[in-house]
C-alpha cells in the first residue's frame, strides 16, 4: 500500500544539483511527487510510493549529491494523492532568469552565479554549457570539496544490473563467511611489533604510504594525542575530538578501498604465474589472496552505492592504482614475505580507521551515519540479519573483514613462501585446537606463528 510524505531538507542544498538528484533517485524507486527550492534556502517537497521505497528515498535525501552538504531531513506522513505521474523538480526557470540577468548586468555575487549556473547545467545542453561552467565556477564559486566536484551532469546510477534477457541474477562467486555480532564486536585494534629488518622496512613503507593517503584523501589526523591514545586503547569509550564529517569519511573509504584491493590481486596473480611457469603446486595460497582482493572490491562497491566520487577523486584513484600495482608487482618478486607484512600493517590501520568511525557513531558525532541503512548490495553480500542492517552494522562487518586481512597477511608473512601450505585452506589433524579459519571464530590479530600452524619440524 502506498504512503505519502512531505519532507524538508536543510543544509547547503540549493544550487548543487540537489533536485536533479532527488528526481533521479525517486524515478529509480518508482516514487512520485516533487522537489522545489524554498525561499529559506531549503529544498522541500512531497513523495509517494511503497513504504520501503520511501525509506530508501529518505536515505538518499540524507546523503544528497556530492556537492551538497545535508544537515537535516525532516519528514512526516500526509494523505495519499491519486493520479500523480512521475517526480517533478520545480522552478529552475527562475534560476535561469536570475543567472541570465546576472551575467548580462555583470552584477551578481560570486555565489549566486555559480549556483544559478549549476542549476542550469542540469537542464540545458551540457556540452555547450560546460566551458562556461568551468570558467564561471573558477571565477564565482571557489571549490569547496576537491574530491567531489563532478556533477555538472547530475547523478548516475552506479553499476545498474545489466539487461541480459535470459539471466535473472548474478550471485557472488565467493560467498562471505558468517560473522556473529559478538565476534564482530570483539575485533580489537592491535599492532604486531616489528622484529626483523624486513618488518621494519614493511612498517616504514606502510607509514610512508599512509601519510600519502592521508594527504590525498584529506584525512584529519587526531590532534589530541591523549585522546588518540585513549581511543586506540578503547575505541568504544575513547574520545577523539577532531572527528571528520560523514562526507570526508566517505571520500576516505572510497579512496582506501580502491587501493586495498590491489595487493591481494598482485600476489595471487604472481603466485598463479609462478605455479604455471615452474609447474609446481601453490599449496592453496592463490584463492585466499584473490578472495581478499574480491572482498576489498565489495567494500568499494558498497560505498559506491552511497556516494558518487568526483573527477578529482577518480583521478587520484587512477594514479594511486598505477603506482601501487607496479610497486607491489616489483616488490613481491623480490620479497613476498615483506609484502605480506606490509599489508598486515596496512590492515592494522584499516581496523583502527573503522574503529574510529564506530566510536564517532557511538559518540553521536556522525548523525547522518546513525540514520543510514546498509545498501542492498551489502545486505546480500554479508547476509546481514534483518535487525542488523544499519550503517554501524555495515562498518562492523567491514572492520571484521579488515581484521581478517590483518591476521591473514601477518600469518602469511611468518611462513616459508615457497613450501608451506596455506593455513586458511587446510584441514587440521586436531580440529578442536584453535587454528586459522576463514571466518573470525578464532581471532589472532597479530598473526599465527609458523610453529603454531605448521608445527615443529
Ligand atoms: Fe576494505
Ligand atoms: Fe583490508
Torsion sign, CA atoms 117, 37, 54, 374 = positive
Give 76 Cα–ligand 2 centroid separation in angstroms.
40
CA 404 – ligand 2 centroid, Å: 8
Given phi > 0 = left and psi -120 to 50 = alpha, else beta, which region is 447?
left
Q: What's the CA-to-centroid distance between 405 and ligand 2, angstroms?
A: 5
Q: Which ligand number lies closest to the CA of residue 255?
A: 1
Instruction: Using the predicted structure, report yes or no on whether residue 135 has a pLDDT greater than 60.
Output: no
Nearest ligand, CA of residue 263?
Answer: 2
279-290: per-residue pLDDT in tens?
999 999 999 999
User: Distance of CA 261 to CAs 59, 163, 258, 325, 374, Å?
Assistant: 28, 27, 6, 10, 21
Cα gap 113→127, rounded to integer Å: 19
Q: What are the chain's domains?
A: 1-157 (3.30.70.100), 181-453 (1.20.1260.140)
Nearest to 285 by CA among 297, 445, 293: 293
Q: Which of 17, 37, 95, 295 is catalytic?
A: 37
Give the Å distance between the CA of 80 and the centre of ligand 2.
46
DSSP type of residue 88: E
Q: 234 an active-site residue?
A: no
Q: Residue written as cell 584529506? A: 218
Alpha-carbon distance of 250 to 232, in angstroms, equals 21
The catalytically annotated residue of 4, 19, 192, 399 is 19
Alpha-carbon distance of 258 to 415, in angstroms, equals: 27
Alpha-carbon torsion (196, 199, 201, 207), positive or negative: negative
- Does the annotation mark 90 as catalytic? no
pLDDT (0 to 100) of residue 109: 35
What confidence score (pLDDT) does residue 236 get?
56
Whether the predicted pLDDT of 19 surpasses 50: yes
pLDDT at 369 over 70: yes
The least confident of 42-46, 306-310, 415-419, 442-446 is 306-310
C-alpha–C-alpha distance, residues 294 and 361, integer Å? 27
Spatial neighbors of 323 by CB under 8 A, at least 6 apart, are none
Place of cell 532568469: 97
Predicted confidence at residue 43, as pLDDT, reads 92
Residues with CB under 5 A from ligand 1 (ion): 257, 260, 296, 299
- Please tell me the distance between residue 401's alpha carbon and the centre of ligand 2 in angstroms: 7
Amino acid at each position: 500500500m502506498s504512503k505519502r510524505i512531505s519532507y524538508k531538507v536543510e543544509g547547503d542544498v540549493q544550487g548543487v544539483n540537489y533536485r536533479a538528484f532527488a528526481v533521479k533517485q525517486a524515478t529509480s524507486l518508482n516514487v512520485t511527487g516533487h522537489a522545489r527550492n524554498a525561499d529559506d534556502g531549503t529544498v522541500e517537497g512531497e513523495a509517494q510510493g511503497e513504504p520501503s521505497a520511501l525509506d530508501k528515498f529518505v536515505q538518499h535525501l540524507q546523503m544528497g549529491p556530492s556537492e551538497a552538504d545535508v544537515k537535516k531531513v525532516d519528514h512526516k506522513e500526509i494523505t495519499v494523492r491519486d493520479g500523480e505521474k512521475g517526480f517533478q523538480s520545480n522552478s529552475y526557470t527562475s534560476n535561469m532568469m536570475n543567472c541570465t540577468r546576472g551575467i548580462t548586468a555583470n552584477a551578481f555575487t560570486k555565489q549566486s552565479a555559480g549556483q544559478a549556473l549549476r542549476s542550469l547545467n542540469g537542464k540545458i545542453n551540457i556540452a555547450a554549457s560546460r566551458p562556461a561552467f568551468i570558467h564561471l565556477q573558477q571565477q564565482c564559486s571557489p571549490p569547496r570539496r576537491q574530491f567531489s566536484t563532478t556533477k555538472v551532469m547530475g547523478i548516475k546510477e552506479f553499476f545498474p544490473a545489466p539487461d541480459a534477457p535470459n539471466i535473472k541474477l548474478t550471485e557472488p562467486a565467493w560467498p562471505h563467511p558468517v560473522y556473529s555480532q559478538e565476534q564482530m564486536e570483539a575485533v580489537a585494534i592491535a599492532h604486531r611489533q616489528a622484529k626483523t629488518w624486513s618488518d621494519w622496512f614493511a612498517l616504514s613503507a606502510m607509514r610512508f604510504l599512509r601519510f600519502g593517503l592521508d594527504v590525498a584523501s584529506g584525512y584529519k589526523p587526531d590532534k589530541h594525542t591523549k585522546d588518540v591514545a585513549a581511543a586506540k586503547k578503547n575505541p568504544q569509550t575513547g574520545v577523539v575530538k577532531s572527528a571528520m564529517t560523514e562526507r570526508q569519511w566517505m571520500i576516505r573509504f572510497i579512496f582506501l578501498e580502491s587501493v586495498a584491493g590491489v595487493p591481494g590481486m598482485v600476489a595471487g596473480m604472481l603466485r598463479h604465474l609462478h605455479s604455471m611457469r615452474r609447474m609446481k603446486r601453490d599449496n592453496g595460497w592463490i584463492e585466499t589472496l584473490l578472495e581478499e582482493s574480491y572482498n576489498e572490491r565489495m567494500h568499494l562497491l558498497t560505498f559506491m552505492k552511497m556516494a558518487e566520487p568526483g573527477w578529482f577523486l577518480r583521478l587520484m584513484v587512477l594514479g594511486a592504482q598505477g603506482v601501487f600495482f607496479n610497486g607491489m608487482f616489483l616488490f613481491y618478486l623480490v620479497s613476498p614475505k615483506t609484502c605480506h607484512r606490509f599489508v598486515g600493517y596496512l590492515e592494522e590501520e584499516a581496523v583502527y580507521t573503522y574503529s574510529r568511525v564506530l566510536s564517532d557513531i557511538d559518540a553521536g558525532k556522525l548523525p547522518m551515519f546513525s540514520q543510514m541503512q546498509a545498501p542492498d548490495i551489502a545486505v546480500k553480500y554479508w547476509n546481514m540479519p534483518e535487525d542488523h542492517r544499519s550503517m554501524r552494522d555495515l562498518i562492523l562487518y567491514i572492520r571484521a573483514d579488515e581484521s581478517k586481512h590483518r591476521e591473514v597477511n601477518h600469518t602469511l608473512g611468518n611462513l616459508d613462501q615457497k613450501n608451506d601450505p596455506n593455513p586458511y585452506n587446510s584441514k587440521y589433524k586436531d580440529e578442536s585446537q584453535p587454528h586459522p579459519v576463514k571466518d573470525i571464530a578464532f581471532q589472532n590479530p597479530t598473526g599465527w606463528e609458523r610453529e603454531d600452524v605448521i608445527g615443529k619440524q
